[in-house]
Amino acid sequence: MYVQAPFRPVVSAARDALRDTFGESRMTGAYLYGSVPRGTARPGRSDLDLLVALRAEPTERDRADARRLDVELDARFEQIDGSGTLLSGRDRLLSDLERYDLGWFVACLCTPLLGEDLAPLLPAYRPTSLLARETNGDLALFLPRWRAEIRSTAPERLPRLQRRISRHLVRTGFTLVMPRWNGWTSDLAEMAKAFAGYYPEWAAHMRAAATAAYEPTGELGALYTVTEELGPWLAGEYTRVHGIKKPRP
């Protein structure tokens, strides 16, 4: 993990806040992922991404505490543009159902921050079609949700929504070609480049999505391009190539 100097106080505060909020009685471990541990975060533009493994499945209290923690970190540090904390029960992360989704994410794309690291308990992964299907084979389910969010989100909050949607689209585009590319990366620009090598006709759309993931403008036209053009095509192509992700309970 390489955390740039401006973000070290943020990571230290996040570690303390997670420990104070959840403690050993509720949390087994926590991770960083995204640009901050990768060393590519940009002060004032990048957000902080956290994942917490809980002893039990998340409750409403857990989710409320995570939201409060995110709001406090965002307000306290101008270096970050938002904070997002994912929650999952430890047993779920290690389950057969999540082995090629959250399990892979933890083992291959997350950096341990505190507590137990579950990576040694997970398989040695390879970039297979099964892995691609189980990580992002449910894009079609997100498109109507995103359209509804765009309609209901206040204009000043659209850039953050655009960043989240764009990230998801770029990651899905990358995992579509991941078995052929024969590897993985957490760098969105590299993901878009890998995708372009197999789908040059959609390369400009994917590069634009990667740019929006780093520098979102919140423009409705760009959001609709993603949800009405790139997204529907990508969902259909993903199903054709890899199939549909197993439904979650």
Q: Which residue segment(s) compose the domain that 13 sits in?
A: 5-121
Tell whether the model's pLDDT for residue 247 goes beyond 90: no
Same domain, 45 and 145: no
Residue 249's pLDDT band (boundaries 50, 70, 90)?
confident
Q: Alpha-carbon distance 140 to 48, whole Å?
A: 27
Q: Of 23, 26, 24, which is closest to residue 57 (Cα–Cα)?
A: 26
**Is there a single domain that holds both residue 114 and residue 158?**
no
> Are residues 134 and 117 both part of a single domain?
no
Residue whose C-alpha is closest to residue 35's, from 98, 82, 76: 82
Query: End of a domain among 73, 98, 121?
Result: 121
Residues 159 and 227 in one domain: yes
* Number of domains into which the chain is organized: 2
Please give the share of the chain, as a percent, with pLDDT higher than 70.
100
Encode pLDDT of 154-191 as tens digits. 999 999 999 999 999 999 999 999 999 999 888 999 99
* H helical segments located in the chain: 8-26, 35-38, 60-76, 90-93, 102-109, 129-136, 139-152, 158-181, 188-196, 203-214, 220-225, 231-242
Q: Based on the domain organization, do 111 and 61 belong to the same domain? A: yes
Co-location of 202 and 109 in the same domain: no
Residue 247 lies in a domain: no
The 10 Å Cβ neighbour count of residue 106 is: 24
The whole model's pTM is what?
0.88
Lowest mean pLDDT among 80-84, 180-184, 225-229, 245-249: 245-249
Q: Over the chain, what is the mean pLDDT?
A: 95
What CATH number is given to the structural domain containing 65?
3.30.460.10
Q: What is the pLDDT of residues 83-129, one digit of tens each?
A: 999 999 999 999 999 999 999 999 999 999 999 999 999 999 999 99
Q: Which of 88, 121, 154 is the last residue of a domain?
A: 121
Does residue 249 lie within any of the structural domains?
no
Average pLDDT of span 226-246 = 95
Any domain includes 207 = yes
28, part of any domain: yes
